[in-house]
Amino acid sequence: MEQLVYLNGEIVPYSEARIPVEDRGFLFGDGIYEVVRIYHGRPFAFDRHFERLRRSAAEIRLDLDIERLRADALDLIVRQGIEEATLYLQATRGVAIRNHAFPSEPVASVMMLVRSASAPSAAVLQNGVRCITLPDDRWARCSIKSINLLPNVLAKQQAVEAGCYEAIYLRDGYMTEGSSSNSWAVLDGELWTAPKSNYILGGITRDVLLELARQDGLPIREEPVPGWRLAAADEILISSTTSEVLPVVELDGRPVGAGRPGPVWERLYHLLQRAITVECRPELIEAR
Ligand code: PDD
C-alpha cells in the first residue's frame, strides 16, 4: 500500500504532498500536533486526542474545524489501512510572508500521516529502560502540544548519547515529565505523578492510566514529586501514546528499586493492555 498524506482536505500520494516554504510551521514552529495510536486498525482514545487538539488550538488562537478533522482522520486511517500504526496530525497557522504577528486572515494548514508502529518490544518490557535527569529548560506553556520541540529534541539526544531511552526533567527540584513522555514514581506504595499544570503536557496515556489505576484501587498522588525522592523510589515509570507505559530500571546510572520492572508497573501495563483490547478489539472480550 503506498504511503498517503492528508493535506488540507485532500488525501494524496506521499510523493505529491507539498508544503510551501513560507508555512509558519516551518518558519516559526507556529503550530500544534497530535499523535494517536492505532491498534488493529482502530484508533485508541480518539475523542480524548481531539479534545486536546481543540484545547491546544484555543491556546494558540488557531481556528480549526475539529469535527471535520476528526472525520477526515478516520477516513485517512481507513484509506491507509495499516493495522498497527500511529496517526500524526500537525496544524500550523498556514502560509504567509514572514512576520511574527499573525497574518490578517490566517488559514490553517493541516497535515496527517498514518505510519506503521509497533508496541514496546518484549525485551524492553522484560528489562525496562534507563533514563537520565536533566534540568527542565523549556518554556512555561508545556501544556500546549506545540510543534516547537527543540528543547525536547536536545534532551532526548542527550539521553540517547548516554545510552538511555528518555530524559526526565526536573524543574525547581521537582520532576515534571520526560522529553516525550509523562513520568511517574512509586513512593511508599503510592503512585505519584506531577499534577496537570502549565509545566507538563496533559498526556492522554497519563489520563487513561490515572483512571484505570483509580478504578483498580491503587493509591494515587497527583502531586509534585521532589527530585530527591527519586533516588529512593520503589519504581519509576514513563508513559506516552507510543511507549504505552514502561518501567525505568536505572536513573542517572543508579538502579531504581530492585533494578527491575516492579509490580505497580506490571499492574498498570496489564490494565492498559486490557483497556486497549476493550476499545480496539471488543470482539475478543465478547467472545470470552
Ligand atoms: N509525545 N509529555 C510530552 C512532552 C510528550 O511529548 C508526550 C507525548 C507526552 C505523553 O502524552 P500522550 O500520552 O498523550 O502521548 C508527555 C508524543 C507521543 C510525541 O511527541 O511523539
Please give the Cα distance from 252 to 5 (Å, whole number): 40
Q: Which three cell numbers stand for residue 15?
A: 510523493
Looking at residue 120, the DSSP 8-state letter turns out to be P
- Structure pTM? 0.97
Residues 6+ apart with CB under 8 A from 213: 191, 220, 268, 271
Which residue, 172, 173, 171, 168, is CA-closest to 226?
Answer: 173
Selection from 268, 288, 282 nearest residue 40 by Cα: 282
Atom in ligand 1 nearest the alpha carbon of residue 52: 14
Q: Which grid coordinates belong to 172?
A: 525547581
Q: Which atom of ligand 1 is nearest to the CA of 201?
A: 2
| Ligand 1 center from residue 138 Cα (angstroms) | 15
Residue with CA at minimum distance from ligand 1 atom 4? 180
Number of Cβ atoms within 10 Å of the Cβ of 10: 10
Q: How far is the CA of 180 from the centre of ligand 1 (A)?
A: 5
Going by C-alpha positions, the residue among 70, 71, 53, 75 that lies closest to residue 62 is: 53
- Angstrom distance (rounded) from CA 269 to CA 266: 5
Q: What sections of 118-203 are H helices per DSSP?
A: 122-127, 150-161
Q: Which residue ranges form the domains of the chain, and what is each CATH number?
A: 4-116 (3.30.470.10), 122-278 (3.20.10.10)
Per-residue tens of pLDDT for the chain, all 288 residues: 899 999 999 999 999 999 999 999 999 999 999 999 999 999 999 999 999 999 999 999 999 999 999 999 999 999 999 999 999 999 999 999 999 999 999 999 999 999 999 999 999 999 999 999 999 999 999 999 999 999 999 999 999 999 999 999 999 999 999 999 999 999 999 999 999 999 999 999 999 999 999 999 999 999 999 999 999 999 999 999 999 999 999 999 999 999 999 999 999 999 999 999 999 999 998 766
For residue 190, the CA-to-ligand 1 centroid distance in Å is 23
Q: Are 279 and 44 in contact (CB under 8 A)?
A: yes
Annotated catalytic residue: which of 37, 49, 93, 145?
A: 145
What b/e sequence results for 224-241 when a residue is b if at least 16 CB atoms lie within 10 Å of its CB, and e otherwise?
bbebeebeebbbbbbbbb
Amino acid at 174: Y
